[in-house]
Amino acid sequence: MKSVLITGASTGIGRACAEHLAQRGWRVFGSVRKPADALALEAALGPNGKAVLFDVGDADAVQRGAAEVAEALGGAVLDGLVNNAGVALPGPLLDQPIDEIERVIDINFTGTVRAIQAFAPLMGPARARGSGNSLARGRIVNITSVSGEFGYPFTAAYVASKHAVEGLSKSLRRELLADGIDVIVVGPGAVKTPIWDKGASNGMERYAGTRWERPLAALTASLKAMDAEGLEPAVVAATVETALTARNPRPRYAPVPNPLVNWWLPRLLPVRMIDRIIGKNLGLVD
């Protein structure tokens, strides 16, 4: 039975990945931060699932989680690691409290590093994986975002963190060639998850009465619209399964709704034109 550790498995993409892979016979370890979420996850996953309590922002807790998974594996290797845990706290970079920015970077980027350092050793070098394993190599799948490729106003910390994970993934993939561990990015577009609703409710009232109030209101409406029209988390989960199992996986997958508008046109149109379009949509320019 193949095994995988998924961070941030209580809701959204992480939960969808956990359920999808458990249904397909994977042994799934899912990280959650609350005991109640652990019970709910294990009930949803059935006998193939186990919740592991840790926050990717707590280095000691991550290491304890890795020890727990290692004990459960009983000497077998971990086949996959899906780094999904993340947080989005929008705000104008000039005025956003530095502790909010640091939190986003710590969870989304440094938290990914913590998980990799803790769990990649459980994947073992290529020679230890055994010829009977259906995966030729262990796989690390890092969940980023279209935002890591295209900057969007008032999400600078989130964009920076996802862009950093993109760069980390490229370097790490080459570092781990000798160990037979592949590193793959899945960078979705808008997905129907609560991540932006949670972030938009965090301290946005501090900008009331400032020059940011109207564009932030437009941003919030835009994000809600994108979430409502976004992909189902199950679509991203299926892409993650492909990244974990394909014989020759791509280094990066980009599941996005309406790819022409949300992926290809922003890559092909002049950058200054995209600037103007976004600026007008948010009321930043006339």
Positions annotated as catalytic residues are: 158
HSE, CB side, 13 Å, CA atoms: give it for residue 159.
14
The set of residues, in sequence order, having a beta carbon less than 8 Å from that of 159 and lying 6+ positions away, is 145, 147, 148, 151, 152
| Structure tokens, 116 | 């990799």
CB of 171 closer than 8 Å to CB of 116: no
Q: How far apart are CA 6 and CA 44, in angstroms?
A: 15
Tell the residue number behind the tokens 């996953």, with chain if given: 45
Buried b (16+ CB within 10 A) or exposed e, 230-253: bbebebbbbbbbbbbbeeebeebb
Sign of CA dihedral 98, 99, 100, 105: positive
CB of 155 closer than 8 Å to CB of 102: no
Q: How far apart are CA 257 and CA 281, in angstroms?
A: 19
Q: How far apart are CA 193 and CA 12, in angstroms?
A: 5
Q: Please provide residue 25's backbone torsions phi and psi, each rounded to the nearest 5 degrees.
A: 90, 5
Q: How far apart are CA 204 and CA 212, in angstroms?
A: 10
